[in-house]
Amino acid sequence: MADVAFQHSSVLGVRTAAKRTGLKNALRRKSTIAFLMTLPLILLITILVIYPALYALHLATLNKAMTKFIGFGNFEFLFKRETFWMVVKQSCIFAVTAVIFKALIGFIVAHFAHNIPSKKQRKWRGMLLVPWVIPPAMSTLAWLWLFDPSYSAFNYTLSFFGIGPIPWLGDAIWARFCIILVNVWFGAPFFMIMYLAALKSVPDQLYEAAAIDGANWWQRIWYVTLPMMRNIIAITTLFSLIVTFANFDITRILTAGGPLDRTHIFATWAFRVGIEGGDIPLGASVSLFMAPILAVAAIFILRDISKRGNEA
Protein backbone atom coordinates (compact mmCIF):
# COMPACT_ATOMS: atom_id res chain seq x y z
CA MET A 1 0.00 0.00 0.00
CA ALA A 2 1.12 3.55 -0.43
CA ASP A 3 3.54 4.50 2.27
CA VAL A 4 3.32 8.17 2.77
CA ALA A 5 4.44 8.38 6.33
CA PHE A 6 4.34 11.93 7.52
CA GLN A 7 4.29 10.93 11.14
CA HIS A 8 7.85 9.69 11.04
CA SER A 9 9.31 13.14 10.83
CA SER A 10 8.65 13.99 14.42
CA VAL A 11 10.10 10.70 15.61
CA LEU A 12 13.49 11.05 13.95
CA GLY A 13 15.75 13.60 15.54
CA VAL A 14 15.99 16.07 12.73
CA ARG A 15 18.60 18.77 12.23
CA THR A 16 17.11 21.30 9.94
CA ALA A 17 18.28 24.43 11.67
CA ALA A 18 21.51 24.84 9.77
CA LYS A 19 20.05 23.87 6.40
CA ARG A 20 20.13 27.13 4.48
CA THR A 21 23.55 28.34 5.62
CA GLY A 22 24.98 24.84 5.34
CA LEU A 23 23.95 24.75 1.72
CA LYS A 24 25.65 28.07 1.10
CA ASN A 25 28.83 26.75 2.67
CA ALA A 26 28.92 23.79 0.34
CA LEU A 27 28.44 25.97 -2.71
CA ARG A 28 30.99 28.43 -1.58
CA ARG A 29 33.52 25.71 -1.04
CA LYS A 30 33.34 24.43 -4.57
CA SER A 31 33.37 27.90 -6.02
CA THR A 32 36.26 29.05 -3.88
CA ILE A 33 38.36 26.05 -4.71
CA ALA A 34 37.66 26.51 -8.38
CA PHE A 35 38.46 30.18 -8.15
CA LEU A 36 41.71 29.53 -6.33
CA MET A 37 42.69 27.04 -8.97
CA THR A 38 42.27 29.60 -11.71
CA LEU A 39 43.71 32.47 -9.71
CA PRO A 40 47.30 32.11 -10.97
CA LEU A 41 46.03 32.14 -14.52
CA ILE A 42 43.92 35.22 -13.88
CA LEU A 43 46.80 37.00 -12.16
CA LEU A 44 49.23 36.12 -14.90
CA ILE A 45 47.02 37.43 -17.63
CA THR A 46 45.90 40.51 -15.77
CA ILE A 47 49.35 41.65 -14.67
CA LEU A 48 51.44 40.65 -17.64
CA VAL A 49 49.05 40.92 -20.55
CA ILE A 50 46.05 43.12 -19.90
CA TYR A 51 47.74 45.72 -17.76
CA PRO A 52 50.70 46.22 -20.11
CA ALA A 53 48.30 46.52 -23.02
CA LEU A 54 46.47 49.30 -21.26
CA TYR A 55 49.72 50.80 -20.07
CA ALA A 56 50.82 50.93 -23.68
CA LEU A 57 47.87 53.19 -24.36
CA HIS A 58 49.04 55.47 -21.59
CA LEU A 59 52.64 55.40 -22.78
CA ALA A 60 51.63 56.35 -26.27
CA THR A 61 50.39 59.64 -24.95
CA LEU A 62 53.67 60.69 -23.40
CA ASN A 63 56.65 62.50 -24.84
CA LYS A 64 60.00 60.87 -25.43
CA ALA A 65 61.35 61.58 -21.98
CA MET A 66 58.05 60.38 -20.52
CA THR A 67 57.60 63.52 -18.49
CA LYS A 68 54.81 65.26 -20.28
CA PHE A 69 51.41 64.28 -21.52
CA ILE A 70 51.13 65.06 -25.20
CA GLY A 71 47.89 63.36 -26.09
CA PHE A 72 47.86 62.36 -29.70
CA GLY A 73 51.17 64.04 -30.37
CA ASN A 74 52.96 60.82 -31.09
CA PHE A 75 50.31 59.70 -33.50
CA GLU A 76 50.33 63.02 -35.31
CA PHE A 77 54.05 62.69 -35.66
CA LEU A 78 53.73 59.20 -37.03
CA PHE A 79 51.03 60.06 -39.50
CA LYS A 80 53.31 62.63 -41.06
CA ARG A 81 56.19 60.22 -41.45
CA GLU A 82 56.42 58.43 -44.74
CA THR A 83 58.13 55.50 -43.07
CA PHE A 84 55.09 54.92 -40.91
CA TRP A 85 52.76 54.54 -43.85
CA MET A 86 55.27 52.28 -45.52
CA VAL A 87 55.26 50.15 -42.42
CA VAL A 88 51.49 49.97 -42.43
CA LYS A 89 51.39 49.02 -46.09
CA GLN A 90 54.19 46.51 -45.78
CA SER A 91 52.73 44.85 -42.71
CA CYS A 92 49.34 44.39 -44.30
CA ILE A 93 50.62 43.15 -47.65
CA PHE A 94 53.09 40.91 -45.95
CA ALA A 95 50.55 39.39 -43.57
CA VAL A 96 47.82 38.85 -46.13
CA THR A 97 50.11 37.45 -48.82
CA ALA A 98 51.93 35.16 -46.46
CA VAL A 99 48.74 33.81 -44.93
CA ILE A 100 47.16 33.19 -48.31
CA PHE A 101 50.16 31.22 -49.49
CA LYS A 102 50.49 29.37 -46.23
CA ALA A 103 46.86 28.36 -46.32
CA LEU A 104 47.00 27.36 -49.95
CA ILE A 105 50.17 25.34 -49.70
CA GLY A 106 49.06 23.83 -46.41
CA PHE A 107 45.77 22.80 -47.99
CA ILE A 108 47.39 21.30 -51.07
CA VAL A 109 50.01 19.38 -49.14
CA ALA A 110 47.37 18.15 -46.69
CA HIS A 111 45.44 16.74 -49.62
CA PHE A 112 48.42 14.87 -50.94
CA ALA A 113 49.21 13.59 -47.50
CA HIS A 114 45.63 12.48 -47.13
CA ASN A 115 45.84 10.51 -50.36
CA ILE A 116 48.57 8.17 -49.31
CA PRO A 117 47.94 5.24 -46.97
CA SER A 118 47.81 6.14 -43.30
CA LYS A 119 50.83 4.12 -42.29
CA LYS A 120 53.09 6.01 -44.64
CA GLN A 121 51.56 9.32 -43.65
CA ARG A 122 53.37 9.43 -40.36
CA LYS A 123 56.80 9.55 -41.93
CA TRP A 124 55.88 12.28 -44.38
CA ARG A 125 54.03 14.28 -41.80
CA GLY A 126 57.12 14.10 -39.66
CA MET A 127 59.33 15.52 -42.36
CA LEU A 128 56.91 18.21 -43.39
CA LEU A 129 56.42 19.56 -39.89
CA VAL A 130 60.14 20.14 -39.29
CA PRO A 131 60.13 23.84 -40.29
CA TRP A 132 57.64 24.54 -37.57
CA VAL A 133 59.59 22.72 -34.89
CA ILE A 134 62.91 24.48 -35.44
CA PRO A 135 63.10 27.75 -33.53
CA PRO A 136 62.39 30.44 -36.15
CA ALA A 137 65.43 32.40 -35.10
CA MET A 138 67.69 29.46 -35.93
CA SER A 139 66.12 28.56 -39.22
CA THR A 140 66.08 32.18 -40.30
CA LEU A 141 69.83 32.20 -39.83
CA ALA A 142 70.05 29.38 -42.32
CA TRP A 143 67.97 31.37 -44.77
CA LEU A 144 70.15 34.39 -44.14
CA TRP A 145 73.14 32.33 -45.13
CA LEU A 146 71.27 30.98 -48.14
CA PHE A 147 70.56 34.53 -49.21
CA ASP A 148 74.03 35.85 -48.45
CA PRO A 149 75.08 38.49 -51.04
CA SER A 150 78.43 36.86 -51.71
CA TYR A 151 78.02 33.22 -50.90
CA SER A 152 74.36 32.50 -51.58
CA ALA A 153 73.86 28.83 -52.35
CA PHE A 154 70.87 29.77 -54.46
CA ASN A 155 72.88 32.12 -56.59
CA TYR A 156 75.46 29.40 -57.02
CA THR A 157 72.84 27.01 -58.33
CA LEU A 158 71.12 29.62 -60.47
CA SER A 159 74.40 30.58 -62.08
CA PHE A 160 74.40 27.22 -63.81
CA PHE A 161 71.22 28.26 -65.58
CA GLY A 162 72.73 31.56 -66.58
CA ILE A 163 70.58 33.53 -64.17
CA GLY A 164 72.62 36.33 -62.72
CA PRO A 165 73.23 36.72 -58.99
CA ILE A 166 70.05 37.95 -57.36
CA PRO A 167 70.45 40.53 -54.59
CA TRP A 168 68.13 38.60 -52.33
CA LEU A 169 68.21 40.88 -49.39
CA GLY A 170 69.73 43.91 -51.01
CA ASP A 171 66.89 44.81 -53.32
CA ALA A 172 63.62 45.99 -51.79
CA ILE A 173 61.34 43.79 -53.87
CA TRP A 174 63.50 40.69 -53.51
CA ALA A 175 63.86 41.33 -49.81
CA ARG A 176 60.09 41.39 -49.43
CA PHE A 177 59.87 38.21 -51.42
CA CYS A 178 62.42 36.52 -49.20
CA ILE A 179 60.63 37.50 -46.03
CA ILE A 180 57.35 36.16 -47.32
CA LEU A 181 59.07 33.02 -48.51
CA VAL A 182 60.66 32.29 -45.17
CA ASN A 183 57.43 33.05 -43.39
CA VAL A 184 55.53 30.67 -45.66
CA TRP A 185 58.22 28.01 -45.22
CA PHE A 186 57.85 28.34 -41.49
CA GLY A 187 54.10 28.57 -41.25
CA ALA A 188 52.70 26.27 -43.95
CA PRO A 189 53.33 23.10 -41.91
CA PHE A 190 50.99 24.39 -39.20
CA PHE A 191 48.22 24.77 -41.75
CA MET A 192 49.05 21.39 -43.20
CA ILE A 193 48.71 19.60 -39.90
CA MET A 194 45.46 21.30 -39.04
CA TYR A 195 43.95 20.72 -42.45
CA LEU A 196 45.08 17.11 -42.49
CA ALA A 197 43.30 16.50 -39.21
CA ALA A 198 40.21 18.26 -40.55
CA LEU A 199 40.31 16.30 -43.79
CA LYS A 200 40.33 13.09 -41.83
CA SER A 201 37.19 14.12 -40.05
CA VAL A 202 35.18 14.53 -43.25
CA PRO A 203 33.20 11.30 -43.65
CA ASP A 204 34.13 9.30 -46.74
CA GLN A 205 30.49 8.75 -47.50
CA LEU A 206 30.06 12.38 -48.43
CA TYR A 207 32.70 12.04 -51.11
CA GLU A 208 31.15 8.82 -52.34
CA ALA A 209 27.74 10.45 -52.57
CA ALA A 210 29.23 13.38 -54.45
CA ALA A 211 31.05 11.08 -56.82
CA ILE A 212 27.82 9.25 -57.55
CA ASP A 213 26.14 12.59 -58.10
CA GLY A 214 28.73 13.21 -60.78
CA ALA A 215 31.14 15.66 -59.17
CA ASN A 216 34.72 15.75 -60.43
CA TRP A 217 37.69 16.27 -58.15
CA TRP A 218 37.61 20.02 -57.81
CA GLN A 219 33.84 20.08 -57.45
CA ARG A 220 34.19 17.62 -54.62
CA ILE A 221 36.66 19.94 -52.97
CA TRP A 222 34.49 22.97 -53.48
CA TYR A 223 31.18 21.47 -52.45
CA VAL A 224 32.17 18.87 -49.88
CA THR A 225 35.60 19.49 -48.41
CA LEU A 226 35.64 23.24 -48.03
CA PRO A 227 32.22 23.64 -46.42
CA MET A 228 32.98 20.88 -43.90
CA MET A 229 36.26 22.56 -43.04
CA ARG A 230 34.93 26.09 -42.74
CA ASN A 231 35.48 26.36 -39.01
CA ILE A 232 39.02 25.04 -39.06
CA ILE A 233 39.92 27.25 -41.95
CA ALA A 234 38.57 30.28 -40.15
CA ILE A 235 40.33 29.55 -36.88
CA THR A 236 43.71 28.77 -38.44
CA THR A 237 43.48 31.81 -40.68
CA LEU A 238 42.76 34.03 -37.73
CA PHE A 239 45.59 32.64 -35.68
CA SER A 240 48.00 32.88 -38.55
CA LEU A 241 46.99 36.42 -39.45
CA ILE A 242 47.67 37.54 -35.93
CA VAL A 243 50.93 35.70 -35.63
CA THR A 244 52.15 36.79 -39.05
CA PHE A 245 51.07 40.37 -38.60
CA ALA A 246 52.88 40.54 -35.31
CA ASN A 247 55.96 38.73 -36.59
CA PHE A 248 59.34 39.91 -35.40
CA ASP A 249 62.00 37.20 -35.58
CA ILE A 250 62.14 36.56 -39.30
CA THR A 251 62.19 40.15 -40.45
CA ARG A 252 64.60 41.26 -37.78
CA ILE A 253 67.14 38.61 -38.57
CA LEU A 254 66.87 38.69 -42.34
CA THR A 255 66.81 42.37 -43.01
CA ALA A 256 66.35 44.26 -39.75
CA GLY A 257 63.83 46.28 -41.71
CA GLY A 258 66.08 47.25 -44.58
CA PRO A 259 66.98 47.95 -47.21
CA LEU A 260 66.00 51.52 -46.54
CA ASP A 261 63.13 50.54 -44.26
CA ARG A 262 61.44 48.82 -47.13
CA THR A 263 60.78 45.65 -45.17
CA HIS A 264 59.93 47.10 -41.80
CA ILE A 265 56.79 45.81 -40.20
CA PHE A 266 55.16 47.05 -37.05
CA ALA A 267 57.14 44.89 -34.68
CA THR A 268 60.57 45.57 -36.10
CA TRP A 269 59.96 49.27 -36.47
CA ALA A 270 58.60 49.52 -32.96
CA PHE A 271 61.77 47.81 -31.78
CA ARG A 272 63.93 50.17 -33.82
CA VAL A 273 62.14 53.23 -32.54
CA GLY A 274 61.43 52.13 -29.01
CA ILE A 275 64.47 50.18 -27.91
CA GLU A 276 67.20 51.16 -30.29
CA GLY A 277 65.99 54.71 -30.56
CA GLY A 278 65.15 54.99 -26.89
CA ASP A 279 61.75 56.54 -27.56
CA ILE A 280 59.44 54.19 -25.78
CA PRO A 281 56.24 56.20 -26.13
CA LEU A 282 56.71 56.50 -29.86
CA GLY A 283 57.46 52.81 -30.13
CA ALA A 284 54.35 52.06 -28.12
CA SER A 285 52.31 54.16 -30.51
CA VAL A 286 53.64 52.21 -33.43
CA SER A 287 52.87 48.79 -31.99
CA LEU A 288 49.47 49.98 -30.76
CA PHE A 289 48.53 50.61 -34.31
CA MET A 290 48.40 46.88 -34.77
CA ALA A 291 45.58 46.58 -32.29
CA PRO A 292 42.67 47.98 -34.28
CA ILE A 293 43.64 46.01 -37.37
CA LEU A 294 43.90 42.81 -35.34
CA ALA A 295 40.62 43.51 -33.60
CA VAL A 296 38.81 44.03 -36.88
CA ALA A 297 40.20 40.81 -38.30
CA ALA A 298 39.27 38.95 -35.11
CA ILE A 299 35.72 40.25 -35.11
CA PHE A 300 35.15 39.32 -38.72
CA ILE A 301 36.41 35.82 -38.35
CA LEU A 302 34.89 35.09 -34.95
CA ARG A 303 31.56 36.32 -36.18
CA ASP A 304 31.85 34.00 -39.11
CA ILE A 305 32.54 31.08 -36.83
CA SER A 306 29.62 31.66 -34.52
CA LYS A 307 27.35 32.19 -37.47
CA ARG A 308 28.37 28.83 -38.86
CA GLY A 309 27.89 27.31 -35.47
CA ASN A 310 24.32 28.55 -35.41
CA GLU A 311 23.69 27.25 -38.89
CA ALA A 312 24.92 23.83 -37.94
Which of 98, 128, 169, 224 touches other proteins by CB under 8 A?
128
Question: Cβ closer to other proteins: 14 or 260?
Answer: 14
Question: Scanning residues 2 to 61, which ones bind other proteins (CB under 8 A)?
Answer: 2-6, 8-9, 12-16, 18-19, 22-23, 25-26, 30-31, 33-35, 37-38, 40-42, 44-45, 48-53, 55-56, 59
3-state secondary structure (DSSP) of residue 43 = helix
Question: Cβ closer to other proteins: 28 or 81?
Answer: 28
Question: Dihedral angle at the C-alpha atoms of 282, 283, 286, 289, nearest 10 degrees?
Answer: -100
Query: Quick one: DSSP state of residue 66?
Result: S
Question: Cβ closer to other proteins: 172 or 293?
Answer: 293
Contact 139, 249 (CB under 8 A): no
Question: Cβ closer to other proteins: 24 or 89?
Answer: 24
Question: Cβ closer to other proteins: 40 or 162?
Answer: 40
Question: Scanning residues 68 to 97, which ones bind other proteins (CB under 8 A)?
Answer: none
Question: Scanning residues 94 to 113, which ones bind other proteins (CB under 8 A)?
Answer: 105, 108-109, 112-113
Question: Scanning residues 251 to 310, which ones bind other proteins (CB under 8 A)?
Answer: 252-253, 266-267, 270-271, 274-275, 280, 283-284, 287-288, 290-291, 294-295, 298
Question: Scanning residues 166 to 205, which ones bind other proteins (CB under 8 A)?
Answer: 185, 189-190, 193-194, 197-198, 201
Quickly count helices (H) and strands (E) in the chain: 17, 0
Distance in angstroms (rounded) separating the CA atoms of residues 297 and 292: 9
> Which H/E stretch holds residue 126?
helix 118-133
Which of 65, 93, 104, 130 touches other proteins by CB under 8 A?
130
Please say whether the dihedral angle defined by the alpha carbons of residues 246, 249, 255 and 258, taken in this order, is positive or negative: positive
Which of 65, 116, 163, 226 touches other proteins by CB under 8 A?
116
Question: Cβ closer to other proteins: 86 or 235?
Answer: 235
Question: Cβ closer to other proteins: 175 or 270?
Answer: 270
Residue 204-243 contact track with other proteins, rule CB under 8 A, x = bound: ----------------------------x--xx--x--xx
Question: Scanning residues 142 to 171, which ones bind other proteins (CB under 8 A)?
Answer: 142-143, 145-146, 148, 150-151, 153, 156-157
Nearby residues of 157 by Cβ (< 8 Å), 6 or more positions away: none
Classify burial at 281, counting beta carbons within 10 Å of its beta carbon; exposed 0-12, middle 13-18, buried 19 or more: buried
Shortest reach from residue 168's CB to other proteins, in Å: 14
Which of 129, 163, 226, 296 touches other proteins by CB under 8 A?
129
Count other Cβ atoms within 10 Å, centred on residue 309: 9
Distance in angstroms (rounded) separating the CA atoms of residues 110 and 224: 16
Question: Per DSSP, what are the bridge partners of residue 303?
Answer: none
Classify burial at 265, counting beta carbons within 10 Å of its beta carbon; exposed 0-12, middle 13-18, buried 19 or more: buried
Contact 94, 182 (CB under 8 A): no
